[in-house]
A = this chain, B = another copy of it.
């Protein structure tokens, strides 16, 4: 049979955009029961303390108020950590707790007929709080004598374990040179355009939840667990999502409280996060301290890389537990060969908002550390940083290859990407007195999470498989149901492209249905970790192929020829060389759905369902280059040029991949230059937070290569997070190249003008600002 693939690889227009760009998206704030009441979450004003009283009387009797939920109502309700590290203390956390461990922690819920009435009544709640000393900054949390968040533990440390080689010390000690530096990547707030929101309707024995959910089944599972409901009594309907970035992949305590309120009141309730709430109510991310050491020979051969990772978990291990820190550790080696590579991972609690999942998930952090170390090693050797990288890089012929941290890189040509980006990158023209430099960074990224048994081995309470259903309707139109979710990333379009090619129908004949636990197959992880198109698309590729085979088999039976003599072309299954001898797809589909004239043993219907549990992760990679101009009078850093060569395997839609990279690079530039959640010493988050604007983000030149993954049916790797991984390191290296005298101090992000100015002044880099 001829294999036409007119759509895979095409720059098909995103089908999502028809509604998203014309204001017809269906966000959670605009769907669900029209008669829903409105919730407002009452939050802790202090970072650490104990709620000793909660006077709800005035609020309950206020106009329009339907009910108030207090900690007593939620006693025992807990949400799970889906990943548990070795020796981790606590694998769940309460929905509502009288012990206060961050400013913004939910303490009560007020439900009223209108949002205004709920907000007014929330101000009437009388909270009595016995305040305790705040713990801000993960290093202070692990100092002797630090106040303890959980006194019963006797420590603020949640876990302490090693990854990779445990005998790095000797290798480091024996090496010719060692660069040792301590790095920080600032605390990030994911900041999607649409804040979080939820609506819950407890009617008729089923709790229906509308949510902006990257993982509707995940939300379902957590809601059932927190609320004590059987799973078959919870339905989650995903909505359009104005950006997720990892922040919308589980059920938050405040969201569980909205569901609880709906159940208690016996009526639908909705809630939307305010932008102000987002900074304290939504999981933060990054915020780790890395003591990194790179050991190498006199001629620049990498001997060992070790990283002592200390992560700030905030008030408790969040849904992902300490996983971003573990990912930093396992992805430590990047695209390079080391004789030894290992990490110590420690995680501690502080009296701040819990940290969790955000694009890159530990990989921007470790890339920042590794790639800055490499540049400083080059500086020490007087070598070219690109050549030093190329000297130590895993070559295309080395693949597949296992790292010292047990990653099995699948395919690629890492040196080619770096060489290509070097050709593209150019420092800005000398003018205006600013200092200019170019910096590079390289990374290998684990995508396509992940094999179910691998996740079990890693302590993850999740199966990594995905299921796709592809159905040809009686009129030969096609419907795809998949467990992965859409959040504006274009997955509706790319799945449609795969299905159209796989079965052999025009793209506009394919409909994609996602994100409803009553209608779409189970996905225990959802659309996170750059996995949707890899695992979900892999399942779909197999399902589409099976459906095509079944269509051909039916045609072969009806035409009384061998299936080998048939091909699908122009809406029909045709005899090769005699295209007028055919059965139209419509005829075949109709007979299949009627149960008429089918081959012996073939049941009626025309639908295939495939579960794909990948054999391993896929490994995308990229090489980034940034050109910066640094104003040494003010410390202001401008990114004047940005180049990326990215490889995410088979390109289903290059336009979408480019868009994903550009958007994520903007986020990475934000991490590098502007974004940080800052806390005062008493644990109050600052009210301002600066995502990058067009002022900070230059034109980004994207070059795509494609090395198919042998793991994925179809060869795809993931790309969603890729762009966030390289920018901090590339920009940091560019700043260090532009102003070498502060290179040793380029260890912390964001590189705000104030921070760079402090470095230029010679302030202690460990105490920026």
A residues contacting B by CB (< 8 A) are: 15, 18-19, 24, 26, 34, 203-206, 221, 224, 230-233, 452-453, 455-456, 461-465, 467, 473-475, 477-479, 509-511, 513, 516, 518-519, 521-522, 524, 593-596, 603-605, 609, 611, 613
Contacts and interface: CB of A to CB of B under 8 A. Distances in A.
19 contacts: A18-B205, A34-B34, A224-B475, A230-B473, A230-B477, A230-B509, A231-B473, A232-B473, A232-B509, A233-B511, A452-B596, A453-B596, A455-B594, A456-B594, A463-B594, A463-B604, A465-B604, A465-B605, A519-B519
Contacts of A452: 594-596, 604
B522 A605 contact: yes
A194 B9 CA distance: 53
Given A519-B519, A609-B609, A611-B603, A595 B231 contact: no
Contact of A463 (B34, B206, B595): B595
Contact of A519 (B224, B510, B516): B516
A522 B593 contact: yes
Nearest to A461: B594
Q: Which 6 A-B pairs have the closest CB atoms?
A: A452-B595, A34-B34, A231-B473, A232-B511, A463-B595, A230-B477
Contacts of A233: 477, 511
Contacts of A516: 518-519
A521 B603 CA distance: 14
Nearest to A610: B603
A613 B605 CA distance: 11
B463 A596 contact: yes
Most buried by B among A231, A461, A465: A231
Given A205-B511, A453-B596, A465-B604, 17 more contacts: A18-B204, A19-B204, A24-B203, A224-B475, A230-B473, A230-B477, A231-B474, A232-B477, A233-B477, A452-B594, A453-B595, A463-B593, A516-B518, A516-B519, A524-B593, A603-B613, A604-B611
Nearest to A205: B18
A15 to B, nearest CB: 8
Nearest to A509: B230
A656 B604 CA distance: 31
A70 to B, nearest CB: 28
Contacts of A604: 452, 463, 465, 611, 613
Nearest to A606: B522
Most buried by B among A465, A478, A510: A465
Contacts of A477: 230-233
Nearest to A466: B604
Most buried by B among A24, A478, A519, A613: A519
